[in-house]
């Protein structure tokens, strides 16, 4: 059984995008919020990035996940409700659903409704006994689920490296919100500990052009949805490795003098001026476990892939 009724389109969505864009472009350094990367086109591009040669996290996670899922299933028991944050194409959840004993319900949360709906309808065909509930949600904000989880065995699932988009303080806030949403629960979360700069620049620089297309699509979306006038040909994508805390930053760098009109304002860019579009913070296991404790979770298990470039953590609510 599935619930796939589309939520009503809110006029406030465009207003929020405009407000956030104006505030971020007016800041120093200039930025655009990374959460707006994820329209249908952006989600589709990232799905392709996950299969690219240099983007290592997805391949290493998929190699690690089957054994981890079996171990997690043994701890969780039968009839679990799984809540996935940022479900995307809903591929990794298949490994978890296959390992769990008679899973009861799958709740998928994603900011891109159309992409989520297509994925959940496809998934429902292969898991007819699992109740499928898609939820259109921005997990950077508090979330109220459409079902009551009281009395359920609950497993939160946040695969990939999405926790990396949050700074340490933001990660704590996010995990506190997850605990408030899920109540007494377990939480399986993917974390990237990689510090190899060459590997990171290959992964986030994207020689195949897909990563650049993902970030340039943010400008195209602003042009289409909130009336911006970005010249996409005037920007190139660039990945930068930073330290303290260790992270990869994504930037769109002006290749020549250009300007954008938005919301009655003009934003001018000199050659080399950039728009900061996203972050990917890299947390060693001990660093992430400290974040978990500070947000009210108890670290229970951690698994590292054989190359030490990806980890999965199982936490339990305090």
pLDDT of residue 206: 87
Q: Which residues pair with 16 in a beta bridge?
A: none
Domain locations in the chain as residue ranges? 23-52+200-281, 56-194+287-317
pLDDT of residue 6: 41
User: For domain 56-194+287-317, is the CATH number 3.40.50.150?
Assistant: yes
Distance CA 318, CA 49 (A): 36
How many other CB atoms are found less than 10 A from the CB of residue 213?
17
Q: What is the pLDDT along the chain (318 residues), one digit of tens a residue?
A: 444 434 444 458 899 999 999 999 999 999 999 999 999 899 899 999 999 999 999 999 999 999 999 999 999 999 999 999 988 777 899 999 999 999 999 999 998 888 889 889 999 999 999 999 999 999 989 999 999 999 999 999 999 999 999 999 999 999 999 999 999 999 999 999 999 999 999 999 988 999 999 999 999 999 999 999 999 999 999 999 999 999 999 999 999 999 999 999 999 999 999 999 999 999 999 999 999 999 999 999 999 999 999 999 999 998
Backbone angles phi, psi at 100, to 5 degrees: -70, 150
pLDDT of residue 8: 41
The reported pTM is 0.91
pLDDT of residue 76: 95
- The DSSP-derived string for the chain is -B--PPPPPPHHHHHHHHHHHHHHHHSSS-B--GGGG-SHHHHHHHHHHTTSSS-HHHHHHHHHHHHHHHHHHHHH-SSEEEEEES-TT--HHHHHHHHSSS--EEEEEES-HHHHHHHHHHHHHH-TTSEEEEEE--TTS----SS--TTSEEEEEE-TTGGGGS-HHHHHHHHHHHHHHH-S-EEEEEE-----HHHHHHHHH-TTSHHHHHHHHHHHHHHHHH-----GGGEEEEEEEETTTTEEEEEEEESS-EEEEETTEEEEE-TT-EEEEEEEE---HHHHHHHHHHTTEEEEEEEE-TTSS-EEEEEEE-
pLDDT of residue 5: 39
pLDDT of residue 301: 97
């Amino acid at each position: 059984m599935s619930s796939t009724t589309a939520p009503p389109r809110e006029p406030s969505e465009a207003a929020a995008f405009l407000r956030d864009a104006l505030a971020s472009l007016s800041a120093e350094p200039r930025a655009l919020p990374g959460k707006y990367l994820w329209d249908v086109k952006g989600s589709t591009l990232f799905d392709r990035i996950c299969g690219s040669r240099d983007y290592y996290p997805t391949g290493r996670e998929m190699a690690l996940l089957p054994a981890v899922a079996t171990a997690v299933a043994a701890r969780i028991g039968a009839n679990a409700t799984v809540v996935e944050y940022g479900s995307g194409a809903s591929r990794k959840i298949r490994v978890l659903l296959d390992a769990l004993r008679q899973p009861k319900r799958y709740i998928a949360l994603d900011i891109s409704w159309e992409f989520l709906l297509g994925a959940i309808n496809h998934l429902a065909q292969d898991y007819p006994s699992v109740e499928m509930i898609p939820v259109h949600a921005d997990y950077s904000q508090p979330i109220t689920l459409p079902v009551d989880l009281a009395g359920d065995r609950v497993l939160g699932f946040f695969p990939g490296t999405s926790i990396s988009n949050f700074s340490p303080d933001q990660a704590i806030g996010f995990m506190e919100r997850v605990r408030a949403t899920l109540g007494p629960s377990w939480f399986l979360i993917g974390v990237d500990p990689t510090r190899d700069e060459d590997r990171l620049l290959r992964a986030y620089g994207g020689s195949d052009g897909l990563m650049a297309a993902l970030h340039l699509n943010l400008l195209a979306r602003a042009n289409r949805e909130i009336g911006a006038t970005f010249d996409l040909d005037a920007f190139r994508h660039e990945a930068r490795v930073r330290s303290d805390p260790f992270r990869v930053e994504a930037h769109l760098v002006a290749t020549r003098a250009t300007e954008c009109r938005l919301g009655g304002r003009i934003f001018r860019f000199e050659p080399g001026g950039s728009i900061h579009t996203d972050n990917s913070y890299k947390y060693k296991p001990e660093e992430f476990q400290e974040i978990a404790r500070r947000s009210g979770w108890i670290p229970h298990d951690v698994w590292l892939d054989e190359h030490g470039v990806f980890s999965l953590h199982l936490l339990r609510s305090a």
